[in-house]
Amino acid sequence: MMSRSEFAKSKRVVIKIGSALLTEGGKGLNQTAISVWVKQIAELKQQGIEVILVSSGSVAEGMSRLGLKTRPKALHELQAAASVGQMGLVRAFEGNFQLHGLHAAQVLLTHDDLSNRKRYLNARSTLLTLLNYNVVPVINENDAVATEEIRFGDNDTLGALVANLVEADLLIILTDQLGLFDSDPGINPGATLISKISANDSSIGEMAGESRSGLGRGGMATKVSAARLASRSGASTIIASGDVEHVITKVMAGEEIGTYLYANIAPLVARKRWLAGQLQVKGRLVLDAGAANVLKKSGKSLLAVGIKAVEGSFSRGELVVCLDLTGVEVARGLVNYKSTEIDLIKGYASRQFESILGYSDEEEVIHRDNLVLV
Ligand SMILES: Nc1ncnc2c1ncn2[C@@H]1O[C@H](COP(=O)(O)OP(=O)(O)O)[C@@H](O)[C@H]1O
Ligand SMILES: N[C@@H](CCC(=O)OP(=O)(O)O)C(=O)O
């Protein structure tokens, strides 16, 4: 585990800024705050630290520009608002980075761009090339085209996936709270700030609640699950308030601000990291106790003999979750057979596939290289 005092030695940092902060509670972009964060980022760049920004705010800024009082419900209205607002974001970041002699680059992603392995690797190359050119990539979800099926849903998840993609040392999530409290401080004024906790501690899920701002999405719940996701590539996460003076500088100097969600698991190899970041689950396999145990303890491939039930309709190569008999997820992975085939071969040994299906591809329903434990 990296101690806070080691943050200054980071090579690469992803900084995510939430909507509520960027848009002053919906009153348009907070230009002063943006200039202050950019100045701190420019200082990090001076120290040789690479920075990637994940900036929300397109919908909120678009709402403000279009005079919409509440966040639109219809997808096409949201997309229109995001397209208008993104112009404001780009303008603000470009102008401010230029003041420090830095170029910014706009990168808009959908989940589709990262779920396809080839496009994932392309996105990685582009980002690494931008960093090589000393440019600050400014990333947002491509809201103008993202439909329900291809969206990340919130920028905390996007920030974590970007941290995985570029193997960042640290993910800094700036929000409108001082950090993660043991319960939502907006509801419980007596809530206590958590200073440090493992990103994989099972108790944090219960502490973190939803967003109530009407501007942001996901609240603390998506921030703690982003921290867990980031930890899979070894990145630790800080959740801190973007309103604290010199917040980025202070975090990087190791000051005890915000919540430090440290990564304390062995980083997954690159392919499994990509796999762990897949969000679109197409079906479920219910495993018997033996198979669930083997997966959990030894990370071996999943064989048909240990499958009790198949739920959902999916094709070969798609992502499914593996549940134990109590319904708890133990792993997820890419299947070698489609759902109707698995329904036929479940409970049988691999050597019987030929007589049941008329052919036999792989021995495993999910090969261990395509399986990540949860
Ligand atoms: N345990 C918690 N600690 C702190 N904030 C919490 C907690 N649970 C829920 N929240 C809510 O999460 C909000 C921050 O999330 P969100 O509105 O999505 O912000 P952002 O736009 O920065 O992503 C806070 O304003 C707060 O109301
Ligand atoms: N892509 C959206 C991000 C929405 C979102 O996740 O917002 P937040 O919870 O403030 O990070 C936008 O720019 O409005």
- Say how many Å lie between the CA of residue 83 and the centre of ligand 1: 25
Q: What is the mean pLDDT of residues 360-365?
A: 88
What ipTM, to 2 d.p.?
Answer: 0.97
Three-state DSSP string of 91-143: HHHHHHHHHCCCCEEEEEECHHHHHCHHHHHHHHHHHHHHHHCCCEEEEEECC
175 CA closest ligand 1 atom index: 22
Lowest mean pLDDT among 67-81, 99-113, 163-177: 67-81
Of the two residues 267 and 196, the one the predictor is more confident about is 196
What pLDDT, on a 0 to 100 scale, did the predictor assign at position 102?
98
Same domain, 259 and 285: no
Provide residues with CB under 6 Å of ligand 1. Answer: 18-21, 56, 175-177, 180-181, 183-186, 207-209, 211-213, 216-220
Single out the residue in 213, 248, 273 at which a domain terminates: 273
pLDDT in tens, 133-164: 999 999 999 988 877 766 777 899 999 999 99
What pLDDT, on a 0 to 100 scale, did the predictor assign at position 210?
82
Single out the residue in 222, 249, 273 at which a domain terminates: 273
Single out the residue in 213, 241, 273 at which a domain terminates: 273
What pLDDT, on a 0 to 100 scale, did the predictor assign at position 334?
92
Domain coverage including residue 80: 4-273
- Say how many Å lie between the CA of residue 155 and the centre of ligand 2: 5
- Find the CATH number of the domain harbouring 328: 2.30.130.10
Q: Which residues pair with 319 in a beta bridge?
A: 334
Q: Is any ligand 2 atom within 6 A of the Cβ of residue 19? A: yes
- Say how many Å lie between the CA of residue 18 and the centre of ligand 2: 6
pLDDT in tens, 234-271: 999 999 999 999 999 999 999 999 999 999 888 888 88
Same domain, 168 and 229: yes
Same domain, 235 and 91: yes
Same domain, 200 and 349: no
174 phi, psi to nearest 5 deg:
-95, 130
Mark out the alpha helices in 4-116 (DSSP H runs).
19-22, 31-46, 58-66, 75-99, 111-115
Q: What is the mean pLDDT of the chain?
A: 92
Q: What is the mean pLDDT of residues 271-293?
A: 90
What is the C-alpha separation between 172 and 16, in angstroms, rounded? 6
Same domain, 150 and 33: yes
- Residue 143 annotated as binding site: yes
- Find the CATH number of the domain harbouring 252: 3.40.1160.10
